[in-house]
Amino acid sequence: MIEMKVAGIVLNATSRSPMILLKDSSERRALPIFIGQDQADTIIKALEGHRPSRPLTHDLMANLLFDCDIELERVIIHSLSDDIFYAVLCIDFNGVKKEIDCRPSDAVAVAIRTDSPIWVLEEVIADASIPVDRDADNAEREAFKEFVSDLSPDQLIKKGGYKEQH
């Protein structure tokens, strides 16, 4: 497994569909996952440190974990099947470890709020990641931006980006 960080939310220029972009620590690989607009909004708010006056769903989940002394050890994006990503929340409750099935966007939204790591199986990265080089020159960076922004969801699927299950 490879630990990844949220690089941000990007919009596909053609479809205007949001994608969460995960990058490995070396910033050599990026994993784009199409998500819904509501999920994109909640992830952006968490990344910006926004605290709503009343808890939203992912805030409620994080509060429940904290208040019930349940540790979210990590989230794992573990498989890709029929162009759909699958993820689990790995929790520890009084020494009992469980894996809870969830959508990748929900897993990421909760992980950000609980400061938990995000892991992706190497097979998923091999199948769906886009190579990115942090030492790339400006032309290479612009080519990557165009790669993400100029493709429709169907084109991106063929190039290595996939959708999450809604």
Give tens-digit pLDDT for 44-54: 988 988 888 89
Which 8-state DSSP code applies to residue 59?
H
Structure confidence at residue 64 (pLDDT): 95
What are the tokens at 40?
């994109």
* 51-90 burial code (b ≥16 CB/10 A, e <16): eeeeebebbebbeebeeeebebbbbbbbebeebebbbbbb
Q: How far apart are CA 58 and CA 113, in angstroms?
A: 8
Q: What is the dihedral of CA 41, 58, 157, 131, to 10 degrees?
A: 90
Q: How far apart are CA 95 and CA 104, in angstroms?
A: 25
- Residue 119 · residue 4 · CB < 8 Å: yes
Its CATH class, for the domain covering 2-164, is alpha beta
Give tens-digit pLDDT for 9-19: 988 777 788 99
Q: What is the dihedral of CA 113, 116, 121, 126, to 10 degrees?
A: 60
Q: How many angstroms separate the most distant Cα atoms in the chain?
A: 51
Whether pLDDT at 135 is above 60: no
Confidence of residue 130 (pLDDT cuts 50, 70, 90): confident
pTM: 0.78
Q: How far apart are CA 146 and CA 89, in angstroms?
A: 33
- Residue 42 · residue 56 · CB < 8 Å: yes
Helix (H, G, I), strand (E, B) or coil at 95: coil
Mean per-residue pLDDT for 135-146? 53
Structure confidence at residue 161 (pLDDT): 43
Q: Bigger pLDDT: 166 or 8? A: 8
